[in-house]
Amino acid sequence: MPTRSRIPVLAASLLAALALGGVQHPALTHSAASAATRPTTDTGPLPVASGEPDAKIVYLTFDDGPHPRWTPQILQVLDQYRAHATFFVIGQQADRYGALVRREHAAGHGIGNHTWSHRPLQGVSYARFRQEVLRTQQVLGPLGSHCLRPPYGAMDSHTRQYAESLGFQVVLWTIDTRDWQRPGASVIVQSVLSRVRPRSIIVFHDAGGDRAQTVAALRTILPRLRAAGYEMVPICR
């Protein structure tokens, strides 16, 4: 369960994100206001819109892991093509496969929060939202960034506000590969290569079913992106 001592850390990261212009209008809480006077080394999430808007950068993201079979294969392909990604992990999976989360982080990838149970956050109470996010964050500890990807991308009018009040930035995507539908590796490849542009945020999955097509597609996508001059960096770290 989350503890009160975690709150100032989260609040500090919210302020760091605010200072970088990455988060719009959160209601500052009491603890956030007091954290403002303290120095912090916590940089919070990387704001999506920072830097040159048309820099040849793409953000690869992998949801629903870690998974003992597929995550290591994906890590191997990323390493082969010197690509860095962000893994939006499910808290229950991260708790069970902590060694894989540590491996992801040690390899230079970012770790984002994809809730504890992967139930949609749409329509949930703040108490429930808080539990889903902070229970996961407690498992991730210092390896976790302060980026939140709601399961299924399902949001309601409270989602961003709730996230921001806990010091998180919501990170969705601009290219959905729909790899979870297993349309064939070549369809996954085309879904990326036909739409990629500077600062695309691309969603794949490293769990939730047989991900052989995803692994195969990455073996084509990553060298093509590199050949086109793209750098693949974590959106959250």
Binding site for Zn ion (CB under 5 A): 63-64, 151
| DSSP for 19-72, written as a single string | HTT-S------HHHHHHTTS------PPPTT-S-TT-SEEEEEEES---TTHHH
Catalytic residue among 63, 64, 179, 206: 63
- Shortest Å, Cβ 229 to Zn ion: 30
**Measured at CB, which residue is nearest to Zn ion?**
63
205 is catalytic: yes
- Shortest Å, Cβ 139 to Zn ion: 16
- Shortest Å, Cβ 90 to Zn ion: 7
Q: 101 and 138 in contact (C-beta within 8 Å)? A: no
Q: Which is nearer to Zn ion, 64 or 132 (CB)?
A: 64
Residue 13 CA to residue 2 CA, distance in Å, equals 16
Map tokens 């100032």 to a residue.
8
Residue 13 CA to residue 169 CA, distance in Å, equals 10
Q: Which is nearer to Zn ion, 151 or 234 (CB)?
A: 151
Helix axes 212-227, 70-80, angle to 10 degrees: 10
- Shortest Å, Cβ 152 to Zn ion: 7
Catalytic residue among 67, 146, 205, 206: 205
Q: Which is nearer to Zn ion, 26 or 150 (CB)?
A: 150
Which tokens go with 215? 């692994």
Q: Which is nearer to Zn ion, 64 or 164 (CB)?
A: 64
Active site residues: 63, 205
